[in-house]
Structure 1
Amino acid sequence: MDTCYGTPNRKIVLLTCNVDDMTGEEIGFAREIMMKSGAMEFYTIPVQMKKSRPGFEIRVVSKPGDADNMAALLLKHTSTFGVRMQELSAYALERRSQVIHTPFGDVRRVIGEGYGVLKEKLENDDVCAYAEKAGVDRKTAERQIYALLEAEKQER
């Protein structure tokens, strides 16, 4: 069994509320406002509400210092009358970014490391922009970018 070596290294806040009277467009607008205002995550979960109505639980993850503002925005931009808040500890990989220079523009790469784990991921928007400029599909673009990275390693 794998074990996470170490202790949680990040504090976060989880804000939740339930709504059963908002349209998808209204929830989408609330999400845009929350993300632009510093929310780390915003997502919905389908739930069964009182009187057997379908609804959504809205969940927003934020930094502790942003919790009051996030709660105020939820109250303003959703139909909820109340917001629940939980302070949580989280395990998170230490992140760093790298820019890969390609013939079709720069591509950002995010690298996460910690707890005996190393992960990397290319920024999707950059891969899609590369694919458009190169005239290839997204998967081919990703392979080409990784090939450029590998060739760069070989040159060192």
Structure 2
Amino acid sequence: MKVLHFDCFNGISGDMALGALADVGADTARISQALESLGVGVKVRFEKVRKGGFAATRALVEAPPEHKHRHLHHIEKIVAAGDLTPAQKDLANRIFLKLAQAEAKAHGISIEKVHFHEVGALDSIADIVGAAVGLDLLGAKEFSSRSVPTGHGMIQCDHGMMPVPTPGTAAMLEGVPLAQVDIAKELTTPTGAAILTTVVTQWRETPDMVVEKVGAGAGTMDFPDRPNILRLFLGEKLQPSIEYSDRVWVLETNLDDVSPEQVAYCFESLFQAGALDVYSIPVTMKKGRPGLIFGVISPEALVSSLEEILFKETATLGIRRYPAQRSKMSRESIIVQTRFGPICAKKGNYQGGVQVITPEFEDCARLARELKIPLREVYAEVLRAASS
């Protein structure tokens, strides 16, 4: 699956996003054609530049002078008039809706009453529509981003002096991890925040992917200690083998006030409820008291129900839980023909190489009792027969 990662270490703006999309491989001719088809006189050209010693692409939007403050429905009409695919129009409209919702929340008004000032200007419309087209052309199905630096200080807007991030930008960044950068500038603009938060669903510093291409989009400002660029990583998502790997949850609690019988009963209850494994580890607790670490390996879907059993059966006051990636063998039940008769066993296989045979205890124990022979002799016969 194609994925795209935003490395916005110095923030993100509309023109940086558009330049980075072009640099990472989006068809610039098709972006230009899409913008010209809007019928509002906007054009875009792309040029190669250097920012802080790094090569990048700058998106330069040319738009006729105007002094209009548009509402959302005005912008939707502009988008509808363009020669864009349905997916491109939908993404552009979702980005503008994200902006409208943020401005409405910041100013305490309805979406219909929101006046787009700076972001309603033709150059910002071009940035957003161009980004929507570029994102669609790249074909990525999943988007991630590192934490987002906003900058700080005050900037001049149509509303007057505003803090950084502006109220609209701050509203869009709710729930987004932010990064501290000591630069008294607006590093993340409303347009950039809208593009980013509309498509990104995963916030992580580095994605699980095989990088095929890296692109860089240039911003307008220059800084003495860092390149003012936005990097995009385009590639294929790393897909762990479902057959040989999965994610489980480890639940643990420390106990020093339960009897062995209670532990055994809790083991049985947890296994019956779907626990993958249950274990206990002797430990020495505070004041030298003997205790144990009671652990459960749980499927993700059963964490809550298994925790409830732990709370109910052990009277613990707290449970630690953390996810763990599990490597595992593929498994199948087999019947091994032995000189004692057929015996059930499990056959494990790891990626077509390592194989393990595990005799079923109940079958082996039954035969050992019936034939009055040692259990280990039955086990050895199962392994011998399975390997021959």
TM-score bucket of the superposed structures, by smaller chain: 0.7 to 0.9
Task: Tell me which of 22, 26, 39 is aligned to 2:275.
Answer: 39
1:76-91 residue pairs with structure 2 within 5 A? 76-91=312-327
Q: Give the conservation status (yes or no) of the 8 Å contact 2:357–2:386.
A: no
Distance 1:55 1:146 in 2: 38
Q: Does 1:119 align with 2:359?
A: no
| TM-superposed deviation, 1:135 | 2.9
Q: Give the conservation status (yes or no) of the 8 Å contact 1:106–1:126.
A: no
Distance 1:20 1:97 in 2: 39
SS state at 1:47 partner: strand
Distance 2:267 2:296 in 1: 9
Deviations 1:118-141 (A, max 9, x none): 111111221111122223222332
Task: Tell me which of 355, 360, 373 is aligned to 1:136.
Answer: 373
SS state at 1:82 partner: coil
| TM-superposed deviation, 1:29 | 1.2
Task: Tell me which of 329, 337, 352 is aligned to 1:93.
Answer: 329
Change in 2 beyond 3 A, CA 1:134/1:145: farther
User: For the aligned residues, what is the CA RMSD?
Assistant: 2.2
Distance 1:146 1:88 in 2: 32
| TM-superposed deviation, 1:148 | 5.1
Deviations 1:65-105 (A, max 9, x none): 11110111100100211111111101100011112356866
| TM-superposed deviation, 1:146 | 4.8
Change in 2 beyond 3 A, CA 1:49/1:139: closer
- The one-letter amino acid paired with 2:372 is G
Q: Does 1:54 align with 2:270?
A: no
Distance 1:81 1:96 in 2: 39
Segment drifting more, 73-82 vs 44-53:
44-53
Q: Give the conservation status (yes or no) of the 8 Å contact 2:278–2:297.
A: yes
Which structure has more strand as a fraction of its residues?
Answer: 1
SS state at 1:126 partner: helix
SS state at 2:321 partner: strand
Distance 1:72 1:149 in 2: 41
- The one-letter amino acid paired with 1:135 is K
- The one-letter amino acid paired with 1:49 is M
Distance 1:42 1:142 in 2: 24
Segment drifting more, 40-49 vs 95-104:
95-104
Q: Give the conservation status (yes or no) of the 8 Å contact 1:19–1:79.
A: no
- Length-normalised TM-score, structure 1: 0.81
Q: Flag the structure with larger Rg.
A: 2
> What residue number does 1:74 align with?
310
Distance 1:149 1:117 in 2: 15
> What residue number does 2:154 align with?
none
SS state at 2:373 partner: coil
Task: Tell me which of 244, 247, 255 is aligned to 1:11.
Answer: 247
Distance 2:347 2:374 in 1: 24
Change in 2 beyond 3 A, CA 1:121/1:26: same
Segment drifting more, 15-24 vs 45-54:
45-54
SS state at 1:110 partner: strand
Segment drifting more, 92-101 vs 81-90:
92-101
SS state at 2:271 partner: helix
Q: Which runs of 4+ in 1 moved over 6 A?
A: none
Segment drifting more, 107-116 vs 135-144:
135-144
**How many residues get paired?**
146
Where do 5+ consecutive residues of structure 2 fail to align?
A: 1-239
Distance 2:383 2:280 in 1: 34
| TM-superposed deviation, 1:56 | 0.9
